[in-house]
Amino acid sequence: MSIAITGASGRLGRLVVQKLKGKVDPALIVAMVRDSAKTHDLGVAVRQADYDQPAQLEKALQGVEKVLLISSSEEEGKARQHLNVIAAAVKAGVKYMAYTSLLRTETSPISIAADHIVTERAMRESGLDVTMLRNGWYTENYADFFLAASGSGTLYGCAGDGRFSSATRSDYADAAVKVLTSQGHEGKIYELAGDTSYTLADVAKELSRLIGKVVTYQNASDSEYIAALKRMGLPHLDAAKIANFDTSAAKGALFDEGRQLSALIGHSTEPLATTLQQMLKR
Ligand SMILES: NC(=O)c1ccc[n+]([C@@H]2O[C@H](COP(=O)([O-])OP(=O)(O)OC[C@H]3O[C@@H](n4cnc5c(N)ncnc54)[C@H](OP(=O)(O)O)[C@@H]3O)[C@@H](O)[C@H]2O)c1
């Protein structure tokens, strides 16, 4: 029986497939993708599986025992797309599903939390064995802003003193591989976040240290920050979403000290300084 990964053409999905290949026979791995042209390099079976195409999803899940549902990157209709995957998994006879949800999703002020709540509920009601991988912040999310700040000397945001307990996609991919390849994760909810946390002012300090030039953090109100992001060319919805991440961080939504991620994956999460060093080498 196979293990399928949805969204396998994405940055997290690719890492999961690569890491899974080191743990199970690659012949047992199915990469489910919207556009198969993007994934010939994965070295595993690729099946067409658009979240908006229920029949395609059911076909792609034939013979699959376990599936990792990677949350959709689309702004509209995320929850509906996820429900399509869950329904197709039930019809295809899948036994187990893990899902990349959001840290403390029931109480999170992050705008996309509602989609995760709907998805988690549908999974619990599906009759499948399920695991919630409630992923916290990806350290890479603000890579472009950090790189811009290392050039300009100013990092902008509206997170105030909000702390980000972030981890890398690679750390979160390790968690997904762990639950797909070991026993006892059925019915579990993992609140996953990095071992250490930082504010955006801490990021500025770390960037200063790494590049040998002063970078300062400039905090704005959310409306000022949205306006600044729009001046940089972002559409209003994207700017508002980013500002919502920061204001949510200011309310503590991205801070976590449970260390469930490192406990699950059996190693420390990558420190901010290491990820920043990699980003600066790009
Ligand atoms: N916790 C966090 O900080 C955080 C940050 C960013 C994202 N996320 C969530 O985590 C997910 C994975 O992150 P990522 O970095 O791997 O994102 P990503 O690189 O943007 O990948 C998203 C994946 O979703 C696929 N997808 C989108 N719409 C689809 C559809 N209609 N049918 C099938 N596949 C579809 C994309 O396929 P294509 O290659 O065809 O576009 C891609 O494979 C994201 O989708 C998002 O929900 C979480």
pLDDT tens for each residue of 227-276:
999 999 999 999 999 999 999 999 999 999 999 999 999 999 999 999 99
pLDDT at residue 87 is higher than 80: yes
R_g of the chain computed on alpha carbons:
19
105: Cβ below 6 Å to ligand 1? no
Q: What span, in angstroms and rounded, lies between the C-alpha atoms of 151 and 169?
A: 25
User: Which pTM does this prediction carry?
Assistant: 0.98
For residue range 150-188, list pLDDT tens digits in order: 999 999 999 999 999 999 999 999 999 999 999 999 999
135: Cβ below 6 Å to ligand 1? yes
In this structure, are 150 and 119 located in the same domain?
no
The amino acid occupying position 119 is: T
Q: Specify which residues 3 forms β-bridges with.
A: 29, 66
Q: Specify the pLDDT at position 161.
A: 98
Q: Specify the pLDDT at position 184.
A: 97
In this structure, are 155 and 275 located in the same domain?
yes
Take atom 10 of ligand 1 and give the residue whose Cα is closest: 71
Q: Once rounded to an integer, what is the mean pLDDT over residues 70-89?
A: 96
74: Cβ below 6 Å to ligand 1? yes
Reading phi first (left if > 0) and then psi (alpha if -120 to 50, else beta), residue 240 is in: alpha
In this structure, are 202 and 72 located in the same domain?
no
The rounded Å distance from CA 76 to ligand 1 centre is 13
The rounded Å distance from CA 140 to ligand 1 centre is 14
Q: Specify the pLDDT at position 135.
A: 98
Take atom 44 of ligand 1 and give the residue whose Cα is closest: 73
The rounded Å distance from CA 214 to ligand 1 centre is 34
Cβ 165 vs Cβ 255: under 8 Å: yes
Total number of domains constituting the chain: 2
pLDDT at residue 282 is higher than 90: no
169's CB contacts (< 8 A; 6+ apart) are: 11, 12, 15, 138, 140
Q: Specify the pLDDT at position 125.
A: 98
Burial of 187 (0-12, 13-18, 19+ CB in 10 A): exposed
pLDDT at residue 92 is higher than 80: yes
50: Cβ below 6 Å to ligand 1? yes
In a domain, 181, yes or no: no
Q: Specify the pLDDT at position 38.
A: 78
Strands (E), 70-166: 96-102, 129-135, 154-157
Q: What percent of the chain has pLDDT over 90?
A: 96
71: Cβ below 6 Å to ligand 1? yes
Please identify, by atom number, the ligand 1 atom nearest to the C-alpha of residue 136: 1
> What's the CATH code of the domain at 246?
3.90.25.10
Q: Once rounded to an integer, what is the mean pLDDT over residues 206-233?
A: 97
pLDDT at residue 99 is higher than 90: yes
Average per-residue pLDDT for the chain: 97
- Tell me which long-range contacts 205-214 makes (C-beta under 8 A, separation of at least 24): 206/272, 206/273, 206/276, 207/146, 207/149, 207/150, 207/155, 207/276, 209/273, 210/150, 210/273, 210/276, 210/277, 210/280, 211/150, 211/280, 213/150, 213/153, 214/153
Cβ 32 vs Cβ 7: under 8 Å: yes
In this structure, are 112 and 222 located in the same domain?
no
Q: Specify the pLDDT at position 208.
A: 98
Q: Once rounded to an integer, what is the mean pLDDT over residues 133-147?
A: 97
In a domain, 178, yes or no: no
Report which of residues 200 and 38 the model is more confident about.
200
pLDDT at residue 1 is higher than 80: no
State the residue range of the domain holding 122. Answer: 2-135
Other Cβ atoms less than 10 A from the Cβ of 275: the count is: 24
In this structure, are 122 and 214 located in the same domain?
no
Backbone angles phi, psi at 100, to 5 degrees: -85, 95
Domain boundary (96, 120, 135) is at 135
Take atom 11 of ligand 1 and give the residue whose Cα is closest: 71
Reading phi first (left if > 0) and then psi (alpha if -120 to 50, else beta), residue 276 is in: alpha
